[in-house]
Structure 1
């Protein structure tokens, strides 16, 4: 090799083609799936939420003062009612009035109170008295305001029998030995008294 000359440079490394760009189809598909799932979940959630907001029972929503009701199932604390003719043998309740709130109850200890919501923040309470006449019998295992009474034939299946009705709200209208129903204590002499309409229903254990 002549002096002053460098040796021959080694050949360059082979050039490989740049890596192919991965197709965005898989990523896009995955992304679309996520979006669809999220949208689907949102739709389901929205429907569920709406159903929760507008959950008022149709019979309760459509009822007016003076309508008669019966429990729609056999739950001792049923919150579902249907409107029936007041002369029907199973017409256990009569609507006294409605409040424009689902909180606060009915202002009396003997009302059956059915609270319903019509939106996230609003609703109403249906306040019902017993639909009773002297001689009627009822079956009830939990007292008002949540326990549901059913009108039944007098006999072994009855809890109490109506013996007197007085047109005033008076704890002593039936006598000093009558007590208001409380919890599961529904035996003996009971008085169901209501301020609106003013009425006291006197019952004895059937």
Structure 2
């Protein structure tokens, strides 16, 4: 007489398959929405400039939440190009550093600009919490472009060549 087969014997094959499919799906989601394949010119939403925060998420550069643009992606120990970049270091199977520029246009106002870790947030210029206003954006690296403005802070990036003239308060 043949041994009786359990009705649930198929589960020993199905469970590992489901685990593999879910793991692959999570990897693909992170790869396409996280920074795994992020390249210069793409924008991110960064809530904090620390690795302990949620991983930055890709965002359309025109979206309100897209507060930084990737200027360069360098090896984990390499320095960013010359400039006032914010950085986020990512470690794992491949370690790298993202060199980030403020993603804002002339006339935008920000909150979180004075924080050493908080990500910038674009806010209406009437918002009492604003701590920076972008007065001028120039496609050159030259602090002199801010002369004649009310700028109290100048930020420049070598890649892409950009100078931001900001009026910073608080």
**Gaps (5+ residues) in structure 2?**
1-29
Larger radius of gyration: 1
Q: What is the alpha-carbon distance in structure 1 between the residues aligned to residue 65 and residue 56 of structure 2?
A: 12
Provide the rounded CA distance (Å) in 1 between the counterparts of 2:139 and 2:108: 17
Is the 2:81–2:159 Cα contact (8 Å) retained in structure 1? no
Cα displacement (A) at 1:87: 1.2
| Alignment TM-score, normalising by the size of structure 1 | 0.57
Report the Cα distance in structure 1 between the residues aligned to 2:135 and 2:90, rounded to whole angstroms: 33
Using the size of structure 2 for normalisation, the TM-score is 0.67
1:81-100, Cα deviation, whole Å (9 max, x unpaired):
1111111112111111211x
**Count of matched residue pairs:** 133
| Residue 176 of structure 1: how far off its partner (Å) | 8.9
Decide whether aligned partners of structure 1 residues 147 and 191 sit closer, same or farther in structure 2, where only a CA change above 3 A counts.
farther
Equivalent residue runs for 1:89-128 within 5 Å: 89-99=64-74, 101-119=75-93, 123-128=95-100
CA RMSD, aligned part only? 2.5
Q: Report if aligned partners of 2:67, 2:119 keep a CA contact under 8 Å in 1.
A: no
Partner of 1:142: 115
In the alignment, structure 1 residue 82 sits paired with structure 2 residue 57 = yes
The CA deviation at 1:153 is: 2.4
Q: Any idea what SS the aligned residue of 1:173 has?
A: helix
Aligned pairs for 1:32-181 (under 5 A) are 58=31, 59-71=34-46, 73=47, 75=48, 77-79=49-51, 80-99=55-74, 101-119=75-93, 123-139=95-111, 140-143=113-116, 148-154=119-125, 155-175=127-147
Name stretches of at least 5 consecutive residues in structure 1 with no aligned partner.
1-56, 179-187
- Report the alpha carbon displacement of residue 125 of structure 1 after superposing the two structures with TM: 0.9
